[in-house]
Amino acid sequence: MKCQLVLQWPASSIKDYDAMIEIENALVENLSAANDVDGHDAGSGEVNIFIRTDDPKRAFNEVKAILGTRDFWVDARVAYREVAGSEYTILWPKDLTEFKVT
């Protein structure tokens, strides 16, 4: 799989970490075989879930369908990059101008 899709949102508590694990598990159970949940990390006031895929836009559409209207979307940021690259292409929110994983 040539791309890494990153779901990211602010987190600062065990409750936030538990919510991230719940979201990750929902994705593991429901994403199509064309996508692979590749883990998560937490720190620096944020959490990230990493998904390997060949079609990041399609994977993001699947993620939106699986997660529906969960509260985390308010602060979520979503971007992707080629696995061997470092430049992110932002998918969400549309007006976001910078994305990085810290």
Please tell me the predicted confidence (pLDDT) of residue 79.
98
Q: What is the pLDDT of residues 13-48, one digit of tens each?
A: 999 999 999 999 999 999 999 999 999 999 999 999
For residue 92, give both structure tokens.
Answer: 């969400």
Tell me, what CATH number does 76's domain have?
3.30.70.1710
Residue 25, domain extent: 3-84
Q: What is the pLDDT of residues 43-78, one digit of tens each?
A: 999 999 999 999 999 999 999 999 988 787 889 999
In a domain, residue 58? The reply is yes
Structural domain count, the chain: 1
Please tell me the predicted confidence (pLDDT) of residue 71.
80
Please tell me the predicted confidence (pLDDT) of residue 1.
86
pTM of the entire structure? 0.95
Please tell me the predicted confidence (pLDDT) of residue 13.
92
For residue 5, give both structure tokens.
Answer: 């899709």
* DSSP letters spanning 26-94: HHHHHS-TTEEEEEEEEETTEEEEEEEES-HHHHHHHHHHHHTT-GGGGT-EEEEEETT----EEEEST
In a domain, residue 60? The reply is yes
Please tell me the predicted confidence (pLDDT) of residue 69.
83
